[in-house]
Structure formats: C-alpha cells, structure tokens
Amino acid sequence: MHRCAILDDYQNVALAMADWSVLGPEVEIAVFNRHIEDRGALVEALRDFDIIVAMRERTPFDAALLAALPRLRLLVTTGMRNASIDVAAAEKNGVIVCGTEGVAGSTAELAWALILALVRNIPAEVEDFRRGAAWQSRLSGDLAGRHLGIVGLGRLGARVARVGVAFGMEVAAWSRSLTDERASAEGATRAPTLDALLSTSDIVSVHVPLTPASRGLIGARELARMKPTAFLVNTSRGPIVEESALIEALSAGRLAGAALDVFDREPLPADHPLRRAERLIATPHIGYVTEATYRVFYGDAVADIVAWLKGKPVRRIAADR
C-alpha cells in the first residue's frame, strides 16, 4: 500500500480535477485543504506518506524537511519549475521529483486584469458605487500611446507584450539574454538596461522566474528610477520585488500604484504591512488558479504517479549541476 498526500488544496477541488481512481486500491489518498505553516506539525502530518503532490510553492521542501520524511519516495510538483524544492537534497534522500505541464495564458490574463484595474481605478470605483458615494468622482487613464515595460519576455511576458501592442501601447522589454530580434518578434523594442526600461515606462510588468540572479531585482534603487506616475505589476514571484522598498515607495507617493499577485510569504499574514499599503491592488496568488490549469496540473500528477508505480518516471526534474 502506498500513501499519497495532496497538499494545499485550498479550493477542495483536487479530486474532482482528475481521475484518481486509475491509481487503484494500492494507493491511499489524503487531501490537505489547509496550509500547514508549523514545521513540526507538517512533519507529523506527512511522515507516513511515500508520495506527495505539492501545489506550486505553497509548501517549501528544503533539505531539512526532506530529511525528516524518510518514507518519501516521489514528490510531484505542479509545473516544471519549483524554486521552493531542494531537488539536490531530494536526490540525496532517494526522492524522485516530477513536474507537470500547465496552461500558459492564465497568469498573463491576470496581469492584464491588474493593469486595467490600476489604470481605470476599478476597485475604488466599485467600492464607491456600492456605498453610494459621489458619481464619477475621479479621472482614470488610457493605455493607447503609453509605454509598457516588460521585465522578462518569455512565454508569459510575450503574451503580455502582444496585448499591449493590441491596445496601441509602445512596448519595450528587458532581460539579460533578450535580443533585438526576439523583442521585435513580439512587437516590442529591447531596452538596453533595466534602468532604461524602468525610467521610460508608464507601466512595468514583471515576468522573470525567481532565481538567485532575479531575487531582489527591483529594490529601492530601481523603484527610484521609475516615474512617480508609473505603475508596477508583479505576477511572477514575490521576492523579485523587495517588499519593504515597494511599501516605502507607495507610502511616500513615489509611485502612482502597484498590483501584486505574489508575495515573499504565502499565505500572506493578516497583519502584514502590504494588507494596509496605499495605492496597492493585491490578489492572493491566483494567476494560475483556474479550472483549465488545475485539470492539467492534477491530471499530469496522476500520470506521474502511474508512471512511477510502473518504474518509469516521467517529467523528472533534475537538480542544477
């Protein structure tokens, strides 16, 4: 008998998103709907499982946690990249790490929802409407003709760029490896430096993965390069933008506003300063939380387990060498 834990199923939908019955009676499944923050409680809850399905970075698996789970043999993460799993430590402990495919457009769509919410003051307008406040009490902006700066022009950044072009925006992009040809293919121009991108953009949208090089990429110095009328949107990973620097910039009015879907710590504590930050729109990391994405995530997770049971793991994630 194998025991499989499905972690952090906040919406309580994991079992409905895939056909888990194909695993048969030899796999017993337990679903954890709530995040377990306490490390001791987490180890106690997971010590008897040899298969764990983790939803993105909701539960970090560092070397210490992996060492505390000697029965664990298969760790499935949704997506093919998970910075919160120490894959090298997993390999050292005899744990195979596998991933899943995903749906490319979900997070890019949310990025545009947040951009439009910022530029058109949508949350404030909805709140005024519901409480019967003054009718049409503020002016909002337009997108056509404004400058959109994209940090990272991969799959998601490219989708955001193409929408910006459709809105009639001037689109620029920057990353360390970006070429003029790649930028041009998505209707953008390549900014020579990150500073140049930040200083000329009316809206900056972040789409680089979290790596040692991108952690803290946008801090106090970089935020100071932005226009005081500019907006910053981060739907990638929280630590790419320094939270304390962003809170200070918003509080001092050095940015017109920001929108976040990602945070250094998730779930974000109820007393966190970002909960009270001015000029901020925030959502609880819902960029990938769609039915289509979950069906791919959990469907592939089941397939990963089936393949592992047959001794032929698929979508293995190897440690960086």
Q: How many whole angstroms separate alpha carbon 248 and alpha carbon 175?
A: 25
Tokens 């953008």 locate to: 188
215 is a catalytic site residue: no
Residue of 146, 159, 207, 285 with catalytic role: 285
Q: Which of 2, 146, 159, 237 is catalytic?
A: 237
Q: Which of 83, 110, 92 is nearest to 234 (CA)?
A: 110
* Residue 267 preceded by cis peptide, ω within 30: yes
Options 266, 272, 295, 316, the catalytic residue: 266
Of 214, 211, 284, 241, nearest to 58 by C-alpha is 284
Q: Residue 109 catalytic?
A: no
- Listing DSSP states for 58-102 in one string gives SS-B-HHHHHT-TT--EEEESSS--TTB-HHHHHHTT-EEE----
Looking at residue 140, its amino acid is S
Look up 155 and say whether it is catalytic: no
The interaxial angle of helices 122-130 and 105-119, nearest 10 deg, is 60
Pair 24, 46: CB distance under 8 Å? no
Q: Return the structure tokens found at 4.
A: 């499989």
What token pair was written down for 41? 């409680």
Say which DSSP state 236 is in.
S
Q: Cα 236 vs. chain centroid, distance in angstroms?
A: 4
Question: Cα–Cα distance between 138 and 149 in angstroms, integer?
Answer: 26
Write out the catalytic residue numbers: 237, 266, 285
